[in-house]
Amino acid sequence: MTSTALQSPPAAPLVLRRCRDLVAPALAEAIGGLHPWVAEMAGYALGRCEIGGAPATHSQGKGVRQALAVLGAEAAGGSGEAGVPGAVAVELVHTFSLLHDDIMDGDALRRGRPALWKAYGTGPAVLAGDALFALAVETLAAGPATAHAAAAVRHLTTALRDLVRGQADDLLFADRPWTGPEAVGVGEYEAMAEHKTGALLGCALALGAQLAGAPRETAIALDRAGRHLGVAFQIADDLLGIWGDPAITGKPVHGDLRQGKKTLPVLVALNAPGHPALAGLLASPADLDDSGVRKAAALVERAGGRAGALREARRHLAAADALLATASLAPRPAEELRSLLSSLAHRTI
């Protein structure tokens, strides 16, 4: 699959940059209050500096979650500024989860650089994640102790619970068989993806709206939209993990197949009638070699796994779109939000 970045509405990078610029001072202030050593690790993890604190030479993340919080506030009729504490909190939670997930998954690379645990050690990376986690909650709980602040914290804790639950399921999927009654079902997979990826996207949107004074039903619709979006993004990741261009993904071709990862295209293919060759290949105890993974990718595609996963991703995107369309949102920010989401989705699917 090649990048289709040219199809993106040109506005998307600008929207992301505008939101990043709006959030940057508050994010920097929050990080600056940490223990200096932890602040350096946080800066590295956020792409704000290199190892040892030298100025950043790599690009930062896109900042999708912070943008969703800002756009959520604007779509609820408030100012983008109103969403900033929520934006800082979700960006910190996202970074915390990447730090700890990289340890759990043994991923040594993150955005083309050594993962934090590779650069600073496992113990310090655990600590830095904890610090960002605590800082995220503190950011929302700071300021006057109001019912409003309590509701925002509660929203974040719901996302945190789902995040941990999704990561737990994802780790456990690795030990489950490919076929038979113990196999991972498509529904189970999508629940995992909703928890692991969707909950925080939904939280970002809803938290932004809530901080801008949105009514409860608007926040709920935005939360649900974000959850569908998360499933679509996770499926897009799966598609890239098998058919993505290594020059763009920064990961080896067919990497997820080589690692035997339970991804949606494979699960869909195994659910299609007549897949004994694929099941046999995946069940072989030895790691697949180059020709094995090529063969597996072809079998997944022939059994409809690629098309089926793409269909699922599009279904979740449409559901997110429908929820945004029915929520009472300010027209211009809602349009910007939809265009951003469609651009992000079309980058990969």
The answer to whether residue 105 forms part of the interface with a copy of itself (CB under 8 A) is yes
- Footprint of a copy of itself on 158-187 (CB under 8 A): 158, 160-161, 163-165, 167-169, 171-172
Q: What is the 3-state secondary structure (H, E, C) of the chain?
A: CCCCHHHCCCHHHHHHHHHHHHHHHHHHHHHHCCCHHHHHHHHHHCCCECHHHCECCCCCCCCHHHHHHHHHHHHCCCCHHHHHHHHHHHHHHHHHHHHHHHHHHCCCEECCEECHHHHHCHHHHHHHHHHHHHHHHHHHHCCCCCHHHHHHHHHHHHHHHHHHHHHHHHHHHCCCCCCCCCCCCHHHHHHHHHHHHHHHHHHHHHHHHHHCCCCHHHHHHHHHHHHHHHHHHHHHHHHHHHHCCHHHHCCCCCHHHHCCCCCHHHHHHHHCCCCHHHHHHHHCCCCCCHHHHHHHHHHHHHCCHHHHHHHHHHHHHHHHHHHHHHCCCCHHHHHHHHHHHHHHHHCCC
The answer to whether residue 279 forms part of the interface with a copy of itself (CB under 8 A) is no
Among 142, 283, 307, 325, binds a copy of itself (CB under 8 A): 142
User: For 32-59, b where at least 16 C-beta lie within 10 A, e where not — what string?
Assistant: eebeeebbbbbbbbbbbbbeeeeeeeee
Tell me whether residue 28 or residue 149 sits nearer to a copy of itself (CB atom): 149
- In angstroms, what is the minimal distance from the CB of 165 to a copy of itself? 5
- In angstroms, what is the minimal distance from the CB of 225 to a copy of itself? 23
- In angstroms, what is the minimal distance from the CB of 46 to a copy of itself? 17
Instruction: Give the interface segment with a copy of itself, choosing from 126-134, 233-241, 299-307, 321-329 (CB under 8 A).
Output: 126-134
Among 4, 60, 79, 157, binds a copy of itself (CB under 8 A): 157
- In angstroms, what is the minimal distance from the CB of 2 to a copy of itself? 34
The answer to whether residue 126 forms part of the interface with a copy of itself (CB under 8 A) is yes
- Footprint of a copy of itself on 284-343 (CB under 8 A): none
- In angstroms, what is the minimal distance from the CB of 204 to a copy of itself? 17
Tell me whether residue 12 or residue 163 sits nearer to a copy of itself (CB atom): 163
Question: With contacts defined by CB under 8 A, how many residues of the chain interact with a copy of itself?
Answer: 45
- In angstroms, what is the minimal distance from the CB of 121 to a copy of itself? 9
Among 14, 108, 150, 318, binds a copy of itself (CB under 8 A): 150
Instruction: Give the interface segment with a copy of itself, choosing from 34-42, 269-277, 288-296, 332-340 (CB under 8 A).
Output: 34-42
Binding site for a copy of itself (CB under 8 A): 35, 37-38, 100, 103-106, 122-124, 126-127, 129-131, 133-135, 137-138, 141-142, 144-151, 153-154, 157-158, 160-161, 163-165, 167-169, 171-172
